[in-house]
């Protein structure tokens, strides 16, 4: 059994051929044919979500061929049987007889493992010879001598289960997609970074009862001090972070997490197998009955206001806090999450240097009235929700992203369609060195298309200015709707990572973020040399060691899938993060979605 991160599995998944239809239908998914004859045709009673079957027939509803455990312990096939009968299931070599079984039945050779893991369904112990090949298998369900159903799979992803009724059918064990959640009409405070770092930190410092912090990295001393202080005054403080950020976890972060754990803060990291997400990449906090959702990481370059242009919003309302807290608990208590103290044993950590820029803040935080808000998450619903927001626009759309996964990315295609129906669309991308070439090529391509077709679409690559160093915000304003959160416009972020965003229907919020966008859109056109560029020139002149430390390796196209378009870089001890620049991973300890050494 090979060990493959779920993000890489996304590449393999494109090659999967899964056939799972009644034998009588004669055609499996993807056009493969089945070789059976009749279906049983009896009715299923009491079937659950994964046991619901067309026409109430008996079915193979789930297959788990490639557990993370040594020796593939816990392999299983889940069946829904409409009533007791002469049932059997076979892998082509061993027949498992299921006389007098009915309902939901889980078949495998390790009953103890299956009973601990199975929430619903009777466990039936299979003979030792029954096994599910990781590289592919054909399973057949029979009643007597008659074939009833069959499933054919190839290259089963590690730690993922195939579900008949799921899209996509392969899902990490323990992961259940969510629908967008209505948050009502909470009061809100809109803010941007680096202009207003005090909003996030003051909110954390105000905790009285609970403080839940979810993120990719935590490398901010001010944030850690706020968490420790909260714990010392009796607040229940919990933290959930990515265990294995691109480039490795930095010593700075390890030291801060040690300090949190010693102060009684429950720190957990997500990334141990079996993994539900390629990366835990959201940026949010629940503080009593308030919720913070940001585009920036908990580090000086991000929430500290030392580098990146980012967007954030604080929602004051019990429903928003309750829903985000429920998401936190589901992720922190699920498979793959482990206590920091246990995870850090025997591990080495990377050196890093935090960002320390200074910028002239011009956008003050603003209280805004929200007519309606929704919580969006990935995998599952965030991408389709963003597409829907853009599709509904009648007048104008502005987008800010570090980069985009490519011209065929679903959210970008929605923008092109909007422009073709007359909506004014503008997209602002980052000029950070690790994405600038791709962003310029994409801008040239889309601007050329807009000119040829005569549509109101324009893409620019932002220059660093005295307002910020790099674009790291991930936001959309479509008429009077705003989307703010961690979702990058690439397939890895949308389908593999845990991401969190909120959609706000609010004229005031739309006006606020759009005004910030307008300033950033115009900011790089005066031809002057920005402060950030001057600093970079001084550093470059001061030592070739900076250049020597920069390692960049591209594998494949910049399509947002880990292993394709991945930047591996170190710049003066600062590091970057996962999926932050359109699937680009900027490395060196602390995730730096902005490429400045912190996030």
Q: What is the pLDDT of residues 467-505, one digit of tens each?
A: 777 899 999 999 999 999 999 999 999 988 999 999 999
Whether the pLDDT of residue 99 is over 70: the answer is yes
- Percent of the chain whose predicted confidence (pLDDT) is above 90: 54
Predicted pLDDT of residue 19: 38
Predicted pLDDT of residue 462: 92
Whether the pLDDT of residue 53 is over 80: the answer is no
- Minimum mean pLDDT among 65-69, 138-142, 202-206, 366-370: which range? 65-69
| Mean per-residue pLDDT over the chain, rounded | 79
Strand partners, 80: 59, 104
- DSSP summary character for residue 218: B
Predicted pLDDT of residue 363: 82
Predicted pLDDT of residue 174: 66
pLDDT band at 580 (very low <50, low <70, confident <90, very high): very low
When pLDDT is averaged across residues 423-434 and rounded to a whole number, the result is 95
Length of the chain: 599
When pLDDT is averaged across residues 104-118 and rounded to a whole number, the result is 76
Instruction: Enter the CATH code of domain 181-533.
Output: 3.30.870.10
- Structure-token match 């010392």, residue found: 232
More confident residue, 67 or 583: 67
More confident residue, 594 or 400: 400
Closest CA to 121 of 21, 47, 220, 23: 47
Is the bond preceding residue 168 a cis peptide, omega within 30 degrees?
yes
- The tokens describing 595, both together, are 């490429």
Predicted pLDDT of residue 102: 84
H/E segment holding residue 321 = helix 318-332
- Minimum mean pLDDT among 23-32, 141-150, 418-427: which range? 23-32
Predicted pLDDT of residue 355: 62
pLDDT band at 525 (very low <50, low <70, confident <90, very high): very low
When pLDDT is averaged across residues 194-219 and rounded to a whole number, the result is 97
- Minimum mean pLDDT among 200-204, 230-234, 349-353, 423-427: which range? 349-353
Whether the pLDDT of residue 206 is over 50: the answer is yes
When pLDDT is averaged across residues 309-336 and rounded to a whole number, the result is 95
Give residue limits of the domains in the chain: 6-172, 181-533
* Sign of the dihedral defined by the CA atoms of residues 266, 282, 563, 247, in that order: negative
3-state secondary structure of 12: helix
Whether the pLDDT of residue 300 is over 60: the answer is yes
pLDDT band at 285 (very low <50, low <70, confident <90, very high): very high
pLDDT band at 545 (very low <50, low <70, confident <90, very high): very low
d(CA 406, CA 401): 12
d(CA 214, CA 334): 14
More confident residue, 576 or 54: 54
Closest CA to 494 of 386, 332, 388, 375: 386
Predicted pLDDT of residue 32: 29
Predicted pLDDT of residue 283: 98
Asked if 231 and 237 touch (Cβ cutoff 8 Å), the reply is: yes
| Triad 117, 122, 128: Cα angle to 5° | 75
Whether the pLDDT of residue 42 is over 70: the answer is no
Q: Give 139's Cβ-side CA count (13 Å radius).
A: 30
Q: How far is CA 146 from the centre of its chain?
A: 44
- Minimum mean pLDDT among 109-113, 122-126, 567-571: which range? 567-571
Whether the pLDDT of residue 253 is over 50: the answer is yes
Whether the pLDDT of residue 139 is over 90: the answer is yes
Q: What is the pLDDT of residues 264-283, one digit of tens each?
A: 999 999 986 667 888 999 99
When pLDDT is averaged across residues 453-462 and rounded to a whole number, the result is 97
- DSSP summary character for residue 277: S
- Minimum mean pLDDT among 240-249, 257-266, 367-376, 566-575: which range? 566-575
When pLDDT is averaged across residues 216-233 and rounded to a whole number, the result is 97
Predicted pLDDT of residue 172: 75
Asked if 181 and 323 touch (Cβ cutoff 8 Å), the reply is: yes
Q: What is the pLDDT of residues 1-20, one digit of tens each?
A: 433 344 334 433 433 333 34
When pLDDT is averaged across residues 457-463 and rounded to a whole number, the result is 94
Predicted pLDDT of residue 121: 63
More confident residue, 78 or 540: 78
* C-alpha distances in Å from residue 154, one per residue of 21, 66, 139, 374: 16, 11, 12, 38
pLDDT band at 356 (very low <50, low <70, confident <90, very high): low
Cα-trace Rg, the chain: 25
- What residues have CB less than 8 Å from 198, skipping those under 6 apart? none
Predicted pLDDT of residue 112: 74
Q: What is this structure's pTM?
A: 0.72
Closest CA to 217 of 574, 591, 586, 576: 591
Whether the pLDDT of residue 197 is over 90: the answer is yes
Predicted pLDDT of residue 196: 92
d(CA 377, CA 593): 19
Whether the pLDDT of residue 89 is over 90: the answer is yes
d(CA 89, CA 105): 11
Whether the pLDDT of residue 445 is over 80: the answer is yes
């Amino acid at each position: 059994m090979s060990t493959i991160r779920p993000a890489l599995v996304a590449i393999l998944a494109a090659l999967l051929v899964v056939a799972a239809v009644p034998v009588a239908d004669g055609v499996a998914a993807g056009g493969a044919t089945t070789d059976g004859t009749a279906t049983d045709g009896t009715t299923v009673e009491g079937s659950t979500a994964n046991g619901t079957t067309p026409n109430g027939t008996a079915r193979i509803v789930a297959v788990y061929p490639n557990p993370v455990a040594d020796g593939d312990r816990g392999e299983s096939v889940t069946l829904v049987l409409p009533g007791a009968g002469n049932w059997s299931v076979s892998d082509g070599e061993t027949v498992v007889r299921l006389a007098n079984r009915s309902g939901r039945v889980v078949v495998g050779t390790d009953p103890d493992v299956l009973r601990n893991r199975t929430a619903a369904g009777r466990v039936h112990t299979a003979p030792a010879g029954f096994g599910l090949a990781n590289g592919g298998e054909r399973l057949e369900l029979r009643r007597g001598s008659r074939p009833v159903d069959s499933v054919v799979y190839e290259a089963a992803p590690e730690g993922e289960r195939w579900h008949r009724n799921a899209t996509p059918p392969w899902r990490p064990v323990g992961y259940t997609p969510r629908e967008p959640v209505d948050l009502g009409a909470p009061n809100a405070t809109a803010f941007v970074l680096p202009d207003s770092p005090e909003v996030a930190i003051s909110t954390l410092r105000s905790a009285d009862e609970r403080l839940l912090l979810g993120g990719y990295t935590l490398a901010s001393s001010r944030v850690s001090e706020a968490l420790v202080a909260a714990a010392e005054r009796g607040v229940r403080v919990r933290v959930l972070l990515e265990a294995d950020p691109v480039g490795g976890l930095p010593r700075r972060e390890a030291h801060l997490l040690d300090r949190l754990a010693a102060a009684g803060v429950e720190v957990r990291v997500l990334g141990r197998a079996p993994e539900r997400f390629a990366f835990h990449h959201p940026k949010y906090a629940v503080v009593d009955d308030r919720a913070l959702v940001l585009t920036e990481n908990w580090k000086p370059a991000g929430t500290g206001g030392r580098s990146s242009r980012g967007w954030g919003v604080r929602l004051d309302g019990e429903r928003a806090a309750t829903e985000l807290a429920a998401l936190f608990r589901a992720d922190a208590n699920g498979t793959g999450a482990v206590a920091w103290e246990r995870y850090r044993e025997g591990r080495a950590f990377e050196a890093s240097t935090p960002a320390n820029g200074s910028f002239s803040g011009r956008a003050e935080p603003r209280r805004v009235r929200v007519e309606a808000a929704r919580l969006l998450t990935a995998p599952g619903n965030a991408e389709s929700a963003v597409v829907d927001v853009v599709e509904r626009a009648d007048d104008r759309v502005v987008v800010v992203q570090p980069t985009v996964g490519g011209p065929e990315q679903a959210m970008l295609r929605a923008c092109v369609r909007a422009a073709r129906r007359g909506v004014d669309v503008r997209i602002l991308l980052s000029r950070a060195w690790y994405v600038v070439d791709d962003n310029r090529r994409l801008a040239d391509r889309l601007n050329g298309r807009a000119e040829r077709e005569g549509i109101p679409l324009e893409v620019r690559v932002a220059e660093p200015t005295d307002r910020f160093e790099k674009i790291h915000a991930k936001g959309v304003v479509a008429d009077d709707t705003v989307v703010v959160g961690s979702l990058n416009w690439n397939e890895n972020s949308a389908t593999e990572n845990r991401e969190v965003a909120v959609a706000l229907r609010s004229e005031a919020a739309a006006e606020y973020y759009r005004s910030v966008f307008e300033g950033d859109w115009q900011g790089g056109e005066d031809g002057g040399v920005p402060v950030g560029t001057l600093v970079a020139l001084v550093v470059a002149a001061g030592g070739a060691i900076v250049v020597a430390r920069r390692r960049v390796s591209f594998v494949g196209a910049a399509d947002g899938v880990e292993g394709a378009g991945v930047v591996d870089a170190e710049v003066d001890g600062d590091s970057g993060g996962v999926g932050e620049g359109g699937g680009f991973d900027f490395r060196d300890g602390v995730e730096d979605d902005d490429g400045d050494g912190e996030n």
